[in-house]
Amino acid sequence: MKLLTVAEMALRELSRRRGVLVLLLALPLVCYLVRHDQVGQSIRFLLLGLAWAVSTTALFASGTSRHIEPRLRLSGYRSHHLYLGRLVAMWLLGLAVSTPFFALIAVDHAGEVRLGALAAAMVLAVTVAAPFGLLIGAVVPRELEGALILLVTISLQMMIDPADSLTRLTPFWSSREIGTYAIDYTGPEYLVRGLTHGIVVTLLATALVAVLSTIRLRTRPHLRYAPR
Amino acid sequence: MDGPDGVDQDRRGQWLRGVLDVCVLALLARHESYGYELTQALDRAGLGQIQGGTLYPVLLRLQRTGLVAAHWRDGEGGPARKYYRLTPSGEEAVRRLSRQWRAFAGRVDDLLLEEVTSP
Amino acid sequence: MTDERWLHALGQELARHRLTPDLTHHVVAEAAAHLRDSGQPALRAFGTPQGYAAAVVESLASQHRPPRRPPGRVRLRASQITKRYGRRTVLGPTDLTVRAGEVAAIVGANGCGKSTFLRICAGLLSPDSGEVVVDGVLGYCPQNGGTYDFLLPEEHFVLVGAGRGLDRARSRRLGRSGAATLQWEPARDTQARHLSGGTRQKLNLVMAALGDPDVLLLDEPYQGFDRGAYLDFWQHVWRWRDEGRAIVVVTHLLNQLDQVDQVLDLTPGTREAAA
C-alpha cells in the first residue's frame, strides 16, 4: 500500500511535467528517425534512446525526492517503500512510452522483424534503464554529473565495436542482443544471452540502489525509541 | 490640533485616560446605557469625541472587574445593543472614585492657582 | 477596508488571541452595533483590527488563557550531543529534555547549529557523540524543501498520511482541517510550486503534524508567514502543547519566548537550557 502510494505520487508528479514527457518521447523518436533508412540500426538506436530517456527520468526523479525522502522516512515509510515505489513508477512510465514505439515499428516494418522478441527487447531496455538511472542518482548527488555519466554510458554503448568483449559490461547490451535476435533472425542463444544479461544487470542495479538508499535513510544509531 | 476649550487633543487624551473609567461609571450611575450613547454623552459633557476603540476596552475591563454588568437588548426598532449598568460594587466604586478624584483635582487646582497668582 | 471586512478581520484576530467563540461574537457584535449607530468608518472608530483586538485582549488580561496542565512524561531526551564539520565545532556538548505538554525554543545566532541539532534529534544526521531517546512518534518540519513542486497539497496529505497508516479520505480531511487552522484553504488544483513561500511552509507544517505525532520538531517553520499566519502558528503550538505533545521550535524571533517552557540558547558561550 505504502509502496503503491509512492509509485502513484511519482507518476502524478512526472505526468505534470509536460516538457519532460515530450522529450521522453522525442528522444527515442529522433534516434529512430535518424537511421530510418536502415531497419536494424534504427531499431537498435530506438532501443538505446528508450533506455536513455527512461534512465535520465529515473535519475531526475531520484534527485527531486532526495530532500523529501528523509521526512517520508520519518512519516512511517521504510526505505524499500521509497526506492521500490519509485522503481515501479519508472517501469510503468517506461512501458507507457514504449507502447507507441512498438506500434510504430509494427506498422513500419511489419513482417521484417520478430515482433515478440522486439517487445521483449523494449521491455528489457526499460527494465534495466529504470534501476540504472536510480543507481546513478544514488551514487552521484548532483543531477548534472549524473546526466553526464548517462551520456558517457550511452555514447560508449553506441560507438563500441559490437565484437569487442567489453561490450558485455555495458548496461544496455541485453536489449541490443535481443534486438539482433529480433531483426536479424539469429539463433536463440542471442535471446537467452540477452535475457540473462538484462536480468542480472537489473537485479544488480536494484540491489545497489537498495543498499545505498538503506544506508542513506537508515535510522541513525544515536537515536533510540523508548519501548512503548 | 486644539479642541474647543483650547486644549490640544494629545493632552486631553492623556488627561482623560486616567479618568475615563470614572466618567463612564458616573454616566452609568444616572441610567443604564450602551457604548455609542456613552460616547455622545461624553461629547456633550465637553470631554471631546471618544472613539469606540478607546471606550469598549474600558467597558470590558469594568465588566471583568465586576463594576458593571451587561446584557443584550433590542434597541427601539433598531438592532440589538449591549447595555451596561452599574452593579452594587460599581455604585460603591463610583462614590469612592469621584471623592478621590475631587480631592486630587482640588489639589491640582490649588497648586495651579497658587502658581498663577504668586508674584 | 469595508466595515464587513474589518469586522471579519477583528473576529479572526480575537480568535487568534484565543478568546472564546462566545466572547469573540459579543465583541464583534458590539463593534458592529457601534458602527451602525455612529455611521463612522471602522478604521476611524476603532483603528486597525489588530490594534483593537490587542486592546480588547489586554482589557481582559489574565482571563483568556486557560490554565496549563502540568507537563507529563519525558518525550525527548538529547544528551551530550556534539557535532563537528572537519575542524569546526558546530555543536558543543548539548542537552535537551522535553516533556509531554512542553514547548522548547532553540535560539541562537545564524550558523550556531540550531538546524543541525534539530536534525540530529530527528535522527536525520549523526552526531559525533551523544544520544537521543524519543518516546513516541516523531514529526519533523524542515526549514524548506520538504515538498514536491508538482504535487497538489492534497496529494502531499495522502502521501504523508499513507506513511502514518491513514486512508486517503482521512488524510485529506486531516490535512484540510490542519490547513484551516492556519487560515489556509488549499485550492484543489494548485501545485506546490505555485504556492507562495509562506503557504508552502503551511503545507510543510500540516504535513509534519499529520497523524498526531507525540514529538514535533519544527525548524523555523513560519518563514514567509505574514503577521496573522505567524500568530496562528503559535496558536497551533499552544494547542499542540495543551494536547500533550512535546514541541521543539527553532526560532530567531524572540517575542514568543516568554511563553515557552524552556529556551535552549546555542550561541557559543551561553549554551545552557534555562527553564
B18-48 pLDDT, tens digit each = 899 999 999 999 999 999 999 999 999 888 8
Q: How confident is the model at residue C253 (pLDDT cuts 50, 70, 90)?
A: low
Counting CB pairs under 8 A, whether chains B and C reach 3 or more, is yes
Measured in angstroms, the CA of A45 and the nearest CA of chain C are apart by 32
Cβ neighbours of A14 in C, within 8 Å: 150
Query: Does C169 lie at the interface with A, CB-CB under 8 angstroms?
Result: no
- Of the candidates A52, A32, A54, the residue with the CA atom closest to the CA atom of residue A43: A32
Residues of chain A with pLDDT > 90: what percent?
A: 69
User: CB neighbours of C253 closer than 8 A, spacing ≥ 6?
Assistant: none
Query: Does C191 lie at the interface with A, CB-CB under 8 angstroms?
Result: yes
What residue in A sits closest to C128 (Cα-Cα)?
Answer: A222
Measured in angstroms, the CA of C275 and the nearest CA of chain A are apart by 24
Selection from B48-52, B74-78, C73-77 with the highest mean pLDDT? C73-77
What residue in A sits closest to C211 (Cα-Cα)?
Answer: A75
Q: Residues 41-80, chain C: which have Cβ within 8 Å of A?
A: none
Residue that wins the pLDDT comparison between C20 and A32: A32
Helix (H, G, I), strand (E, B) or coil at B35: helix
Q: Using CB atoms, which residue from B52, B57, B58 is nearest to C45? A: B52
Cβ neighbours of C52 in B, within 8 Å: 53
Q: How confident is the model at residue C275 (pLDDT cuts 50, 70, 90)?
A: very low
Mutation target among C7, C13, C30, C46 for the B interface, most CBs of B within 10 A:
C30
Q: Which chains touch A (3 or more CB pairs under 8 A)?
A: C
Cβ neighbours of C81 in A, within 8 Å: 222
d(CA C209, CA C230): 16
pLDDT over 60 at A183, yes or no: yes
Interval B41-69 mean pLDDT = 89
pLDDT of residue C111: 80
Q: Which of A129-133, A165-169, C127-131 has the lowest mean pLDDT?
A: A165-169
pLDDT of residue C270: 60
Q: Which of A116-130, A189-203, C234-248 has the lowest mean pLDDT?
A: C234-248
Q: How confident is the model at residue B114 (pLDDT cuts 50, 70, 90)?
A: confident
Query: Does C145 lie at the interface with A, CB-CB under 8 angstroms?
Result: yes
pLDDT of residue C239: 82
Give the pLDDT confidence of A48-81 residue by residue, as tens digits: 999 999 999 999 999 999 889 999 999 999 999 9
pLDDT over 60 at B119, yes or no: no
Mean pLDDT estimate for chain C: 86
Q: Using CB atoms, which residue from C36, C40, C60 is nearest to B64? A: C60
pLDDT of residue B116: 66
CA distances from A29 to A50, A63, A91 (A): 9, 25, 19
Q: Domain segments of chain A: what residues?
A: 2-216
pLDDT of residue A14: 92
- Three-state SS sequence of chain C: CCHHHHHHHHHHHHHHCCCCHHHHHHHHHHHHHHHHHHCCCHHHHHCCHHHHHHHHHHHCCCCCCCCCCCCCCEEEEEEEEEEEECCEEEEEEEEEEEECCEEEEEECCCCCCHHHHHHHHCCCCCCCEEEEEECCCEEEECCCCCCCCCCCHHHHHHHHHHHCCCCHHHHHHHHHHHHHHCCCCCCCCCCHHHCCHHHHHHHHHHHHHCCCCCEEEEECCCCCCCHHHHHHHHHHHHHHHHCCCEEEEECCCCCCHHHCCEEEECCCCCCEEEC
Question: Model pTM?
Answer: 0.73
Query: Does B36 lie at the interface with C, CB-CB under 8 angstroms?
Result: yes
pLDDT over 60 at C273, yes or no: no
Give the pLDDT confidence of C206-232 residue by residue, as tens digits: 999 998 899 999 998 888 887 777 777
Q: Which of A150-154, C157-161, C181-185 has the lowest mean pLDDT?
A: C181-185
Residues of chain A with pLDDT > 70: what percent?
A: 100
Q: Using CB atoms, which residue from B51, B72, B82 is nearest to C45? A: B51
Kindly list the structural domains of chain B, giving each domain's residue range(s) and its CATH number in brackets, ordered by start. Answer: 9-117 (1.10.10.10)
Q: How confident is the model at residue B5 (pLDDT cuts 50, 70, 90)?
A: low
The number of C-beta contacts closer than 8 angstroms across B and C is 60
Measured in angstroms, the CA of C40 and the nearest CA of chain A are apart by 51
What residue in C sits closest to A78 (Cα-Cα)?
Answer: C163
Mutation target among A223, A224, A225 for the C interface, most CBs of C within 10 A:
A223
Query: Does B51 lie at the interface with C, CB-CB under 8 angstroms?
Result: yes
